[in-house]
Structure 1
């Protein structure tokens, strides 16, 4: 199997080269905006050949993009639209009939977009050995509209990914916090994990009250409180509301910086959580998580809880866990979340009334088993993991069959 990671290296360059790079990033973003507008105006055509025929010369003449940069702009926009297309398909619009109370799911596609995808921030995609390459002195050669420039990368912490068994690919230039970064895609071929050889299973329930609750086959349960994170999220939200009410340019600039700071902090939290899970796992471990696709559309809670749910980076945590686990020789599988918090982990009875959401407790009326409802969910994920190891590719619980 192929595992991909992104190396986020800071680069240093002269003031003159910084101006050249910044101008190239600006023109590239304008080129992407042109492609995005064309896709939006022409019934979302996502055929790269058709877009090349229609826009290649204009990208070269109007924005001065090099040949490979023009191709990269088209490829980037097409990839972004396809990603949005997949997200819309996975998260249909859900609404409730005001008379019958019935909920309806309406499929969505790109025609639901009210405006084309925006590329306001300067950015640049560089193809390996065409637009960027390593030099013998350890520096990097980057292509700009005017000339090639040489920059110094800070590779500390990335040495393992610079080995011959890792293949480096397209790089993205990012300017944030007064520094330039190069985000380089790296891939490596790894042996596939034999599920029949997995010995330890860890069920991971993610939520707001507890960031995560893990339970393994040995009966060990760990709780990670989300109180501190929720409080900091609320602090960011209050500050964001204050700035939005001002409607000034300085407030808008600060909102942008605030958003970046909050996202970086949240990513660091998810990195630390996933790293700890992998580091504490025993050999031959399977991590089982809930498939939370569409969790935002399914939320019908009060406004504050809904905001917290939408701002929580559930998918990012899963992504970080996946690549860290694969690199360590483990496996991660996402299973159906249906009934995981309603099923008794001891006798298998499924009954929603047995769960007290206010007190976060689960009490089975049949066998009398009682525990924290998040712990119950993690225990049930272990059961689904056992089914997966036994050969079931899509394990799930149903009310008709009691596990």
Structure 2
């Protein structure tokens, strides 16, 4: 399999003229992406880059003054964004209740979009070898609409990706807070994970009170507290409410700034959490996670004043971080069905949601089993991982307990 990472590199430009050239190229690229997005929206979402090239290539070159490779990159950027949105829509189906009170799910697709996807942030995708390259002196050469410019990395940490094992791909030029950045994709082949190499099986239950409760094959549970994250979320929530109440232009600017700051903080928190799990359990570990597609539906049973925290935690991002960090050390993440993992007794297999006390965070079974409710869920998730290792292709729990 291939391990893919994004190297985030801050760069320094030589002068203001080069900065103006790069900024102009980024803005033309953004406008071209918006134009292609409107075409895709108005023509039934054709996401074949070759067909789009036939229809739009000449217009992109002429109207936006893009170079050949940049015009092709625009088409790829737009189709990739629509495919990502299509996947997100599919993972969050529309849920409705009929007249008889029965709940139904309807899969969403791109036709659910009311407007074309907009590209607000100036950007520029540069193809390795065509639009950007590395010079012998350590500087980088970037293509613009007028000429190539030379930029310098601010820090040398990214040199680790030039040991010959990483393949560098497209670089995305961005600017934020008056600084310039390149986000470069790096791919490295790693051996496929085999069941026989598994040394540890760890069931991981994700939540809010504990960001993760991990139960391993030594019957030990590791808790990673979510108090810090919850407090941070609530502070931002209150600040956002005050700014929205003001409604002034300056308040809206601050709202935009703190949203970006909050997202960066949450991303860093997910990175930290994934790294903690991988470092703690080491290589040859099978991390078992619930498939939380449609997790937003749980808000129906959550107090209204707590719903923001419930839906705003980026579970999918944590999952993606853990997948690539685990693969980097020779471990793997397995996703299993989430059915009844919080309602099942790990000791006797009884499934009864009344046995879970949410208020006191306990799971108490008639058989005598008593544990923290997050721990019991992690134990059930780990058992599904054990079943997968034993040969069950898609392990899951059903309403009728086995045995």
Shorter-chain TM-score bucket reads over 0.9
Residues 129, 155 of structure 1: CA spacing in aligned structure 2 closer, same or farther, 3 A cutoff? farther
SS in 2 for 1:348: coil
- The match for 2:153 is 153
1:61-72 paired onto structure 2 within 5 Å: 61-72=62-73
Contact kept, 8 Å, 1:350 with 1:402, in 2: the verdict is no
TM-score, normalised to structure 1's length?
0.96
TM-fit CA distance, 1:195 = 1.0
TM-score, normalised to structure 2's length?
0.96
Q: How far apart in 2 are the matches of 1:336 and 1:299?
A: 19
- The match for 2:214 is 214
Q: How far apart in 1 are the matches of 2:215 and 2:156?
A: 35
Contact kept, 8 Å, 2:387 with 2:395, in 1: the verdict is yes
SS in 2 for 1:211: strand
Q: How far apart in 1 are the matches of 2:102 and 2:219?
A: 40
Asked whether 1:331 is paired with 2:360, we answer: no
Residues 305, 393 of structure 1: CA spacing in aligned structure 2 closer, same or farther, 3 A cutoff? farther
TM-fit CA distance, 1:112 = 0.8
TM-fit CA distance, 1:123 = 0.8
Q: How far apart in 1 are the matches of 2:279 and 2:36?
A: 44
Contact kept, 8 Å, 1:93 with 1:297, in 2: the verdict is no
Contact kept, 8 Å, 1:299 with 1:306, in 2: the verdict is yes
Asked whether 1:306 is paired with 2:307, we answer: yes
- The match for 1:185 is 185
- The one-character-per-residue Cα deviations of 1:109-144 (angstroms, maximum 9, x if unpaired) are 111101000101101111110111111111100011
- The one-character-per-residue Cα deviations of 1:269-300 (angstroms, maximum 9, x if unpaired) are 11111111111114421111111111113431
TM-fit CA distance, 1:401 = 4.0
TM-fit CA distance, 1:244 = 2.1
Q: How far apart in 2 are the matches of 1:127 and 1:282?
A: 35
Q: How far apart in 1 are the matches of 2:86 and 2:283?
A: 38
Asked whether 1:230 is paired with 2:230, we answer: yes
Contact kept, 8 Å, 2:283 with 2:326, in 1: the verdict is no
TM-fit CA distance, 1:159 = 3.2
TM-fit CA distance, 1:158 = 2.8
1:75-90 paired onto structure 2 within 5 Å: 75-90=76-91
RMSD: 1.4
Contact kept, 8 Å, 2:211 with 2:226, in 1: the verdict is yes
Q: How far apart in 2 are the matches of 1:64 and 1:252?
A: 34
- The one-character-per-residue Cα deviations of 1:150-188 (angstroms, maximum 9, x if unpaired) are 101135333332221110001111111221111100111
- The match for 1:112 is 112
Q: How far apart in 1 are the matches of 2:215 and 2:28?
A: 51
Contact kept, 8 Å, 2:282 with 2:329, in 1: the verdict is no
Contact kept, 8 Å, 1:6 with 1:183, in 2: the verdict is yes
Q: How far apart in 2 are the matches of 1:96 and 1:299?
A: 15
Number of aligned residues: 401
- The match for 2:52 is 51
SS in 2 for 1:315: helix
